[in-house]
Amino acid sequence: MKQLCLGLILVFLMTSLAPFKAFAESAKTNGAPAIKSEAVILLDANTGSVLYEKNSHTQLYPASLTKMATAIYAIENGNLDDVVSVSAKAYETEGTRVYLEEGEQVTLKHLIQGLLINSGNDAGVAIAEHLNGNTRSFAKSLNQYLKEKIGVEQTHFTNPHGLFDENHYTTANDLALITKYALKNPIFREIFGTKELAWDGESWDTTLFSHHLLLRGEIPYEGITGGKTGFVQESRYTLSTSAEQGELSLIAIVLKADRNEYAYEDTVALLDYGFDNFEVAEVATNEKFFGEQNESYHLNKPLKYTLKKNESVQVTMNDQGVLRVLGDDGRKLASTQLKMDIPKELEGTRAEINPVDLAKKNHIPAILMFVFLGVGIVYLQKTIKNMKKST
């Protein structure tokens, strides 16, 4: 009987994972990926280039992807060694939890780990109350932080965890920006990429496992560095994934997938599309660029950009000293403000010079010429007038 039960369990596991393994092995595509989810975006985290998008500016419900924003906000605005006292409200929070007890003492960092790795809604409330007193004040501060610090434009959060609220929404594009910003922080990056963590709670001693199947390796994929899952009925399945291969560092956001396997299938298709079809190039610092007055400009550091493999690009500079890299279809791959080289005669007088200054300098000879010409005309008119008087 035991052998029969074990056999049935094994068959169930194999059949439940088979769809994931099948599309993981067969999802490679030479063209644009076929996407089932409502909205997606694929972003190169190093260059900021958008490699693919579908409805990326459509406002949707993020579910637990909200917790990425809560985590980076807490890391940057709190003391990770602070000991947090868990409130009754945090203890009573519904949904996925790390089973905090009322009055339990937990460090802020441990709460952030429980928030991201096990998607603990109770940990989110405890973090919010510790940092801002209550979840409403926390949401107000979080929204301001996301707008001013990260530059999101279509996001409004009402809670720290992503449980459904009709006024709690964001976009795939904004979530990609949040993920891109957060991954620059080594603490967030470490927790975001944690597959498992021992959890010694007051009422729950266990090992937390990431819910993200690509990060855990249940869906094999080379180079996965982090991930967060989400689900509520109104948002359906949501997924954030980061992966690196060579110089490419990709972020894939998937929103409103009707089935869990669709979210992963779309993520794998996006990553395959990015790694198979794109590469990183740069404009070197030793390249010089010249304006209309022959003034020269330079880069302070190499300008990296992401382009399609074997794509030709055009590098141009406008009259304001802004360098732009354009793809062969005219799309902007990168842009930056150049620095103007200091003329030798001005060395030691100014740290830098702007285009208007140099334009004025280069026009000085012409201005002097017109001044002398004007003086000459006035002198000639007076001479003619005096000659008429003498006659």
* CA separation, residue 7 to residues 10, 12, 218 (Å): 5, 9, 20
Q: Is 64 a residue of the active site?
A: yes
Q: What is the Cα–Cα distance from 231 to 61, expressed in whole angstroms?
A: 9
Q: Calculate the CA 107 to chain-centre distance.
A: 28
Rounded to 5°, angle at Cα 64 from 58 and 69: 80
Q: What is the Cα–Cα distance from 36 to 138, expressed in whole angstroms?
A: 34
DSSP 118-151: S--HHHHHHHHHHHHSSHHHHHHHHHHHIIIII-
Residue 224 amino acid letter: I
Q: What is the Cα–Cα distance from 373 to 379, expressed in whole angstroms?
A: 10
Q: Is 382 a residue of the active site?
A: no
Q: Which of 64, 87, 210, 249 is catalytic?
A: 64
Residue 298 amino acid letter: H
Q: Which of 87, 119, 210, 235 is catalytic?
A: 119
Q: What is the DSSP letter of 369?
A: H
Return the half-sphere exposure (C-beta side, CA atoms, 13 A cut-off) of residue 45. Answer: 28
Q: Which of 67, 109, 228, 304 is catalytic?
A: 67
Active site residues: 64, 67, 119
